[in-house]
């Protein structure tokens, strides 16, 4: 199983039946493919859809039915459309239970940098700043290292911030981490075949190793 799929599968285990969930562009969209048996969620897209279904077949694609990233989507029974003002009233009003998004960096204070690398083309922060501040729980799904090999879990973010002290959990290809304000980043679970020493070596931030560490779930 590829790292992206393994991360998405592990994030899906955190979702509860009946949750209202926003999945960010890219890897987080895979999470909906791995929901545990008996778990049904309502997927929201900030461009104004509540009730997104599975990815459509090519012949079923509808130009008027896309998510915030421009990807074609289907709808589940009871789905509805609304304008951006209503969408962000839902998000800012605290009605989203969980948001899952990628990141460029997360630091040990729970700060998130997810929207730009200086000197590179910038598409804009988008709705991420609203989602991470408005959702009841923020889960970051990302590979542990950047393409240049540097850690993406750092002591202090060096890239422009999306939000301050809002990240609750990080799921990477190496493990699962809780971010606890006033304590730091707690390594809660190791990915299959990964050791504690490997995680520590790959992480710039200071880590607290859970006394109840789970191995290879």
- Residues with a catalytic annotation lie at 46
**Structure letter (DSSP) for residue 118:** T
Separation CA 27–CA 194 (nearest Å): 21
Token couple for 196:
């504690």
Reading the block at residue 78, the tokens are 């009871």
Quickly list DSSP for 52-98. Answer: E-SPPPGGG--TT-B-TTS-B--EEEEEEE--HHHHHHHHHTT--SE
Smallest Cα–Cα separation from 210: which of 185, 181, 192, 191? 185
């Amino acid at each position: 199983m590829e790292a992206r799929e393994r991360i998405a599968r592990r994030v899906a285990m955190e979702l509860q039946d009946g949750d209202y969930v926003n999945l960010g562009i890219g890897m987080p969209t895979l999470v909906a493919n791995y929901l545990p048996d008996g778990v049904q969620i309502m997927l929201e897209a900030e461009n104004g859809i509540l009730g997104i279904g599975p990815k459509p077949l090519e012949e079923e694609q509808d130009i008027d039915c896309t998510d915030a990233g421009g990807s074609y989507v289907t709808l589940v029974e009871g789905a509805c459309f609304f304008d951006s003002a209503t969408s962000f009233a839902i998000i800012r009003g605290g009605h989203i239970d969980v948001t899952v998004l990628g990141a460029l960096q997360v630091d040990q204070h729970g700060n998130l940098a997810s929207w730009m690398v200086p000197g590179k083309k910038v598409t804009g922060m988008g709705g991420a700043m609203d989602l991470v501040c408005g959702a009841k729980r923020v889960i970051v799904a990302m590979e542990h290292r950047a393409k240049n090999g540097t850690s993406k879990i750092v002591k202090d973010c060096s890239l422009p911030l999306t939000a301050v002290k809002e990240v609750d959990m990080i799921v990477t290809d190496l493990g699962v981490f809780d971010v606890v304000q006033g304590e730091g980043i707690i390594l809660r679970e190791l990915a299959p075949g990964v050791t504690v020493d490997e995680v520590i070596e790959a992480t710039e931030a200071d880590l607290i190793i859970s006394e109840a560490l789970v191995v290879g779930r």
